[in-house]
């Protein structure tokens, strides 16, 4: 009886964290696993997927990095004003001070400090997705900062609202206009006990070497709505290998279904789990790293930072400064094998056909 109770308690805990055990009768918690089952962020790769090798060139400046999405799912905390600041990505200016009108008030904890002393990098992309008090509207803005407790937060650009129960496609990723919450690796995912990742991912790659641009495509494809403003003079500028016109912002990148993941020789367990997600769901190319490195989108919220959890679980950071570690070698094994799902469209998400995996379960009542 105690064993049954223990198993039940474990299953409930996993469901509350939005982590699936594969049971078709399960439900999911929208704050941890949002959006409709047919959202691009939840749709698996289909059996009709057509793959084109992306020929991503090996990253040379570092082994791996992350790009943090700021996710605040605490709709019951007091509202904080988020006001205009116009520093943008100019490193000579500060994002901390209020310089214009209030964009909107939002339930963001005052204790959560997001500024030069805490953020990752000098001018991070800093897309915020925050759940409003109605518990279904997600507002998104960029680049977010909250430097001082008791003071307003700041940002510059505001994007259309999305419904946590809807398709959640778009939001605060600057290059493509895609979501700042969909596709992000969330807290308690990719752990030794969490099981497989059951949604699409988001990645950045070095656009100078790996993202195609021409006057017709403008460097992007569906579901992306745009490319970087500097794309025309920057994308593919330092390309060394063959041209891949299909590899543009918004591309769905995946490991082909015919690839035997066990034959690749992964040296780390989390890389093998990630590879399975790349094969079953793929990853949307949402931004330029702007330096010669690969990046995966991860959560930073008032509850914690994904990379801190990852380090505790696996004994090393997702960010590899050089190319010599087993993790860095595994990231080469994934990114150098990625293909574009060329028939990923609004009418055939994931390439169409039968999905490789079951669709996301219904939301809990």
Whether 307 and 285 map to the same domain: the answer is yes
pLDDT at 24: 52
Residue 200 tokens read as 């699409």
Q: Is residue 101 part of a domain?
A: yes
Whether 62 and 95 map to the same domain: the answer is no
Whether 229 and 150 map to the same domain: the answer is no
pLDDT band at 121 (very low <50, low <70, confident <90, very high): confident
Residue 70 tokens read as 């700021």
Average predicted confidence (pLDDT) for the chain: 93
Tell me if 118 sits within 8 A of 305, measured CB to CB: no
pLDDT at 11: 38
Whether 242 and 128 map to the same domain: the answer is no
pLDDT tens, 258-292? 999 999 999 999 999 999 999 999 999 999 999 99
pLDDT band at 365 (very low <50, low <70, confident <90, very high): confident
Q: pTM above the 0.85 mark?
A: yes
pLDDT at 1: 36
- DSSP state letter for 13: H
Domain count, the chain: 2
Task: Give the separation between CA 292 and CA 277, rounded to whole angstroms.
Answer: 23
Of 97, 131, 163, the position where a domain reaches its end is 163
| Omega of the bond leading into 223 within 30 degrees of 0 (cis) | yes
Return the beta strands (E) in 85-241 as ranges: 102-106, 128-131, 137-142, 153-155, 157-163, 201-205
Mean pLDDT of 350-364: 96
Whether 120 and 199 map to the same domain: the answer is no
pLDDT at 23: 54
Whether 246 and 307 map to the same domain: the answer is yes
pLDDT at 21: 40
Whether 56 and 131 map to the same domain: the answer is no
pLDDT at 358: 97
- In terms of residue numbers, what domain contains 124? 70-163
Among positive and negative, which fits the CA dihedral 257, 262, 266, 272? positive
Q: Is residue 2 part of a domain?
A: no
Q: Which of 33-37, 61-65, 205-209, 361-365 has the lowest mean pLDDT?
A: 361-365
Distances 54 to 60, 116, 127, 261, 264 between C-alpha atoms, Å: 17, 35, 27, 18, 18
Q: Is residue 60 part of a domain?
A: yes
Mean pLDDT of 108-122: 95
User: Is the pLDDT at 333 greater than 60, yes or no?
Assistant: yes
User: Is the pLDDT at 190 greater than 50, yes or no?
Assistant: yes
Q: Angle, nearest 10°, between helix axes 306-314 and 269-280?
A: 130
* Residue 359 CB neighbour total at 10 angstroms: 14
pLDDT tens, 144-167? 999 999 999 999 999 999 999 999
Mean pLDDT of 159-187: 97
pLDDT at 14: 42
Farthest CA pair distance, the chain: 67
Burial of 290 (0-12, 13-18, 19+ CB in 10 A): middle
pLDDT at 25: 61
pLDDT at 321: 94
pLDDT tens, 31-83? 999 999 999 999 999 999 999 999 999 999 999 999 999 999 999 999 999 99
Q: Is residue 290 part of a domain?
A: yes
SS (H, E, C) 76-133: CCCCEEEEECCCCCCCCCCCCCCCCCEEEEECCCCCCCECCCCCCCCCCCCCEEEECC
pLDDT tens, 297-323? 999 999 999 999 999 999 999 999 999
Of 163, 196, 229, the position where a domain reaches its end is 163
pLDDT tens, 80-94? 999 999 999 999 999
pLDDT band at 10 (very low <50, low <70, confident <90, very high): very low
Q: Is residue 220 part of a domain?
A: yes
Q: Is residue 361 part of a domain?
A: no
| Strand 201-205, strand 137-142: pairing | unpaired
Whether 159 and 210 map to the same domain: the answer is no
Whether 157 and 205 map to the same domain: the answer is no
> What percent of the chain has pLDDT above 90?
92
Residue 47 tokens read as 């059996």
Whether 144 and 221 map to the same domain: the answer is no
Tell me if 262 sits within 8 A of 239, measured CB to CB: no
Whether 222 and 338 map to the same domain: the answer is yes
Q: Enumerate residues 6+ apart whose C-beta is below 8 A from 322.
A: 62, 63, 328
Task: Give the separation between CA 171 and CA 125, rounded to whole angstroms.
Answer: 13
Whether 212 and 117 map to the same domain: the answer is no
């Amino acid at each position: 009886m105690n064993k049954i109770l223990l198993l039940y308690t474990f299953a409930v805990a996993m469901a509350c964290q939005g982590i699936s055990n594969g049971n078709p009768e399960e439900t999911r918690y929208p704050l941890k696993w949002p959006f409709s089952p047919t959202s691009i962020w939840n749709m698996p790769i289909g059996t009709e997927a057509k793959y084109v090798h992306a020929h991503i060139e090996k990253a040379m400046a570092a082994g791996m990095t992350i790009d943090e999405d700021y996710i605040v799912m605490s709709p019951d905390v007091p509202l904080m004003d988020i006001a205009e600041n116009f520093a943008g990505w100019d490193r000579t200016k500060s994002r901390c001070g209020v310089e214009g009108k209030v964009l909107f008030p939002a339930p963001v904890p005052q204790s959560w400090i997001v500024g030069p002393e805490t953020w990752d990098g000098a001018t991070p992309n800093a897309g915020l997705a925050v759940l409003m008090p109605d518990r279904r509207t997600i507002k998104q803005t960029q680049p977010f900062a909250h430097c001082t407790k008791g003071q307003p937060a700041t940002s510059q650009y505001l994007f259309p609202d999305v419904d946590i129960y809807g398709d959640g496609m778009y939001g605060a990723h600057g290059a493509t206009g895609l979501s700042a919450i969909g596709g992000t690796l969330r807290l308690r995912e990719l752990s030794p006990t969490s099981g497989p990742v059951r949604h699409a991912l988001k990645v950045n790659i070095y656009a100078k070497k790996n993202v195609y641009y021409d006057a017709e495509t403008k460097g992007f494809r569906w579901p992306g709505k745009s490319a970087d403003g500097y794309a025309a003079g920057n994308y593919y500028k330092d390309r060394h290998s063959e041209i891949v016109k299909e590899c543009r912002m918004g591309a769905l990148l995946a490991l082909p279904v015919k690839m035997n993941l066990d034959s690749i020789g992964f040296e780390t367990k989390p890389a093998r789990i990630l590879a399975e997600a790349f094969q079953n769901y793929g990853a949307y190319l949402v931004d330029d790293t702007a330096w010669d490195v690969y990046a995966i989108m991860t959560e930073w919220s008032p509850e914690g930072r994904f990379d801190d959890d990852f380090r505790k679980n696996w004994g090393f950071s997702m960010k590899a400064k050089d190319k010599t570690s087993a993790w860095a070698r595994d990231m080469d094994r994934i990114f150098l094998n990625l293909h574009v799902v060329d028939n990923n469209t609004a009418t055939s998400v994931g390439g169409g056909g039968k999905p490789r995996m079951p669709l996301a379960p219904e939301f809990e009542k």
